[in-house]
Structure 1
């Protein structure tokens, strides 16, 4: 396990920290505590923090423009005004199925938004992966148990997604102009426990958080393992490139399902970290609603 300079960016413990993303125009990172219905806002260089209470469980955020964000909630996609925090429903998603909730998501370079749903108790095959493309909702892959590691190659011609329960990371060819599949998924990495959120850097390398292992694993586009970076909390959940030069990695974590003894043995559980990974990150694209 490789040790890189690491700091605690936020001491607040997340029950289920997830969905970090970064807005380089304001030097602001955003992430969620899904189960506690909280949205975190943090200026990277100053570490200035705000925590916003949410009316619903939410797990991912995409920038629309300087004034608006798209928020993935457990019953649909909402447009949030940054200044006021007001949220308006844009599109319902599985609103008639109370057994599912939102999970992982990323924006394709074209502006198409991929996201996943899953059973609230991780019921087998209860979830799916969707794409929001030109304002229309498209179900891409049904029968997913725990959708994770949604991310894309720099050119937008390859998509990746995991079903964590199956210990499987898939690779799927995409139309770079639309972010939609032009072929079937194929296994890229198999048999790795706890594959959670992921992000791709400017060189096409996949940075994947391993839940339960306290690490970020780095793979090349062929699935070859290159590095493992230690995270100071066992249940590391998702990374995002942050900072003006996108060279650092913000990593969320969680204490979900940990009893008192497990939390005592993992003293930094649920905190959010900044890893000086000396990476070449890519900025997250803005989502296109039409």
Structure 2
């Protein structure tokens, strides 16, 4: 059977240099996403289509909803709490602040209210990146020697997924009752010979994983065996990360990027870096807010 195909439509023509880290804040009914290289935080109210943004003082890759209503900004030098109403920052902890080579990259809240987050070299230096977990206020390193850690997401049956993008392999890692990884991860899906490279990912309520393929202009839906059963086609080449949002979690939003595109390519795809959306008819798996204590 051929994979089902959806076509994404323009949601916000934000034209981020590197759009990333989309997060649905259910308590606020807002979608947040970051322009890492542009140092901006964006948000959208889907009900009113109102879009706003604010400039940040460092590169930030994710703004994760916290149980108290604030956001945790995952930055290149620190983790900070952001009050969305007052637009004030509160420093939480340093984050590879002594390493000028790296910045934050992917992040997502797990099923236990912890946050998995990653770093990479600012120029994708080989093996400069790491994978961390912030759990109950403590930041713990899980893995080092990664180049571009991505695809962080979590299934309802307590498995974590991630990739080191240059390998082309999406890994699956069993978790214990508190959400800590057990043993070694195993390959879930191999895209090393596929067009595009695995980037951001999110889970749906049916146990399927939606994976952005950077360079291929599509997001693929993978079943529990890692097989492609659906595709979202985009009119731009560099989708970076999907997220389910809205009251019923049936709208898939996708961040994209303009980074590295030639002037000729930008002329062909002027909305590169915009936020896209598609009505999937499939509900996402609701993600809990981050618990800091």
Query: 1:106: Cα distance to partner?
Result: 0.6
Residue in 2 that maps onto 1:179: 179
Q: Which stretches in structure 1 are left out of the alignment for 5+ residues?
A: none
Query: 1:240: Cα distance to partner?
Result: 0.5
Residue in 1 that maps onto 2:214: 211
Secondary structure of the residue aligned to 2:86 is coil
Residue in 2 that maps onto 1:188: 188
Of the three residues 136, 141, 144, the one matched with 2:143 is 141
Q: Which stretches in structure 2 are left out of the alignment for 5+ residues?
A: none
Matched, 1:170 2:171: yes
Residue in 2 that maps onto 1:270: 273
Q: Distance in 2 between matches of 1:201 and 1:252?
A: 17
Confirm or deny: 8 A CA contact 1:112 1:178 kept in the other structure: no
Confirm or deny: 8 A CA contact 1:34 1:57 kept in the other structure: yes
Residue by residue over 1:241-288, the C-alpha shift from the partner in whole angstroms, topping out at 9 and shown as x without a partner, is: 011111110001000001101111223211111111111112221111
Confirm or deny: 8 A CA contact 1:154 1:201 kept in the other structure: no
Of the three residues 253, 258, 261, the one matched with 1:255 is 258
Query: 1:211: Cα distance to partner?
Result: 0.6
Residue in 2 that maps onto 1:199: 202
Query: 1:2: Cα distance to partner?
Result: 5.3
Query: 1:142: Cα distance to partner?
Result: 0.6
Deviating beyond 3 angstroms after TM superposition, the runs of 4 or more aligned structure 1 residues are none
Query: 1:25: Cα distance to partner?
Result: 2.3
Query: 1:171: Cα distance to partner?
Result: 0.6
Q: Give the TM-score, by structure 1 length.
A: 0.96
Residue in 2 that maps onto 1:226: 229
Residue in 2 that maps onto 1:14: 16
Of the three residues 15, 25, 28, the one matched with 1:26 is 28
Query: 1:202: Cα distance to partner?
Result: 0.9
Confirm or deny: 8 A CA contact 2:163 2:198 kept in the other structure: yes
Confirm or deny: 8 A CA contact 1:198 1:239 kept in the other structure: yes
Residue in 2 that maps onto 1:81: 83
Alpha carbons of 1:264 and 1:81: their partners in 2 closer, same or farther (altered >3 Å)? same
Secondary structure of the residue aligned to 2:166 is helix
Confirm or deny: 8 A CA contact 1:22 1:283 kept in the other structure: no
Confirm or deny: 8 A CA contact 2:116 2:134 kept in the other structure: yes
Confirm or deny: 8 A CA contact 2:23 2:65 kept in the other structure: no
Q: Distance in 2 between matches of 1:85 and 1:35?
A: 20
Query: 1:66: Cα distance to partner?
Result: 4.9
CA RMSD, Structure 1 to Structure 2 (Å):
1.3
Q: Give the TM-score, by structure 2 length.
A: 0.95
Secondary structure of the residue aligned to 2:243 is strand
Secondary structure of the residue aligned to 2:90 is strand
2-11 vs 207-216, which moves further: 2-11
Residue in 1 that maps onto 2:156: 154
Confirm or deny: 8 A CA contact 2:8 2:232 kept in the other structure: no
